[in-house]
Amino acid sequence: MKTLTLLATAAVLSLGATGAAHAQASAMTFFVTSVGVGNGGDLGGLAGADAHCQKLAAAAGSTGKTWRAYLSTQGQGAVNAKDRIGKGPWQNAKGAVIAKDVAELHGTNNLTKQTALSEKGDVINGRGDTPNRHDVLTGSQADGTAFAGADDRTCKNWTSSTQGAAMVGHSDRTGLDDSAPAKSWNTSHPSRGQGGGCTQADLRGTGGDGLLYCFAAN
């Protein structure tokens, strides 16, 4: 009888934990992808990046939301990342609010290594961890807008896994020094490397893995 009671108690605790996890996933409106697309800067364009966010969110138990990757594009018909992600507020998988609206997101937000969690609720490796994965693809300026000019900052609008470069931010808000770019979540430095700047190896070479910021736009 004692064994049966213990098993029943364990089952109830397990169901409670599962329910809590589902509740957290349902409330989640922001995450850093636990994995990248895996093809360097070629994400399949904005549509491919959004699909990646949607897929990971669904796998984590989040349904009924339209997920968008925080990415800008350049050139004719340029898209601003800040215009893609809805109005907020946004909270992570543990319920911590990272920003109440677009203005706060690009101002004094609550993005830190401890709050920029994956869709699974895990902390993303940052500077000092092995491997460092804090470089997150954005292609954006500090205010969330696209870059003008000829310099590629979006791996050819997220279609190149060789030539070009991508602007990245630091999810842990930490870099080589105390400068504003080193602490920026969305515009720290362009990718670079021997493969052309947009290969998976290039992204990993500067402390990244092709990860994305995903926001629920509805």
* C-alpha dist (Å) from residue 61 to 23, 47, 173: 9, 21, 28
Work out the average pLDDT over 154-182. Answer: 96
Say how far apart CA 71 and CA 57 lie, in whole Å. Answer: 17
User: What structural domains and CATH numbers belong to the chain?
Assistant: 2-216 (3.10.100.10)
The pLDDT assigned to 6 comes to 44
DSSP code, position 109: -
Work out the average pLDDT over 170-181. Answer: 94
Residue ranges with strand state E in 54-166: 67-69, 90-91, 97-99, 135-137
Q: Per DSSP, what are the bridge partners of residue 190?
A: 167
164 or 195, higher pLDDT: 164
* C-alpha dist (Å) from residue 53 to 40, 68, 106, 115, 188: 16, 7, 21, 18, 22
Q: Which residues does 36 contact at the CB level (< 8 Å), separation at least 6?
A: 137, 200, 203, 209, 210, 211, 212
Work out the average pLDDT over 165-177. Answer: 96
The pLDDT assigned to 194 comes to 86
Work out the average pLDDT over 110-133. Answer: 98
Work out the average pLDDT over 126-151. Answer: 97
Question: Looking at the predicted structure, is the pLDDT value of residue 18 above 70?
Answer: no
What percent of the chain clears pLDDT 70, i.e. is strictly above it? 89
Q: What is the largest CA-CA distance in the chain?
A: 75
Say how far apart CA 215 and CA 180 lie, in whole Å. Answer: 24
